[in-house]
Structure formats: structure tokens, C-alpha cells
Amino acid sequence: MPNRTCVVVFVFAVAALGAIGTSATAQSSSARADGDTVVALEHTWLVSGDSATLERILAPDFLHPVFTGDIIDKSEHIAFVAKHPRPASVHTRFERLDVRVYGSTAIATGIVAATQDGTTGVRRTVFTDVFVERDGRWQAVSAQETEVAHR
């Protein structure tokens, strides 16, 4: 009789581990999909200079610490971008972009490289953006970047 009890306990343990594995797989699949969504938002944000797109990407409570020591909000950020559009001669791309998802929060880190027609060299910035999912929609709540010194 004790052997039969051990077999029953073993079967239940294997079934429970299988359920946990399935749940972890579903979670990681969901996290991958959320990460892909944030990557797409980052790419859109990188090339967009229009207010409507920024309005959609940035959360109402978005804050952005900037090099002057100020912390600007969503409307100030959008107004700055509208007033200072990127020249067509400047081209940006991600050298690196990593997204980590923690439930309804995602943290994007990476390096943006910018080049300008007719000049040599690359301006690089390292950044961290924080996204939150609310009502089924991912939006940025914080952004900060720092210029990378030339070595």
C-alpha cells in the first residue's frame, strides 16, 4: 500500500510541474509579445517627430529629466520636439535595444547612434525608457538619455 501512495503522489507532482511549466511558457510568450510591442514603439518613437505619434506613445504622467537639470512633462516634451524638428540630414538608428518586461512594466535600454550628412563621426546616446501597460496599451512614463563620450 505505501508504494501505491508514492506512485499517486509522484503522478500528482509530475502533473503539477507540467502545469507550472505550461504557465511559465504562457507567461514568457506573453512577455515576448509585450517586449515586441515595446520594441515597435521604440522604433516609432526614434523616427517620429510628429505630435500625434508622441501623444499616443507618451503616457499622461510622462516625465523626462533633461541635460539642463529640468524634468519636463509630456506636453513640454512634445512642444520641444515640435519646435526643434530633427533636420532631414540627421539619421538615427539603434546600435543596441534591449527590452525587459516585468508584468505591466517594461524597461527599454540601449544606444542610439546619430549621423549627419556631410560630417564624419557618430553621436551616441545611451538611454533608459520605462513603459507601463494600462488598459491594454503600452505607453512611456519616463525617458532619460546621456551622451556617450568618445573614447
Cell 503600452 appears where?
138
Comparing 25 with 56, which gets the higher pLDDT?
56
Its CATH class, for the domain covering 2-147, is alpha beta
Q: What is the DSSP string of 77-117?
A: HHHHHHHSPPPTTEEEEEEEEEEEEETTEEEEEEEEEEEET
pLDDT digits (tens, 9 = 90+) for 50-85: 999 999 999 999 999 999 999 999 999 999 999 999
- Pick the closest to residue 129 from 65, 55, 52 (CA basis): 65
Q: Which of 46, 59, 57 is nearest to 113 (CA)?
A: 46
Q: Is the pTM for the entire model greater than 0.85?
A: no
Give the helix/strand (H/E) hosting 38: helix 2-47
| Contacts for 94 with CB less than 8 Å, ≥ 6 apart | 42, 43, 46, 110, 111, 112, 113
| Of 122, 142, 128, 55, residue with least CA distance to 98 | 128
pLDDT, tens digit, 9 for 90 and up, residues 120-145? 889 999 999 999 999 999 999 999 99
Residue-wise pLDDT tens digits, 84-120: 999 999 999 999 999 999 999 999 999 999 999 989 8
pLDDT value, residue 20? 39
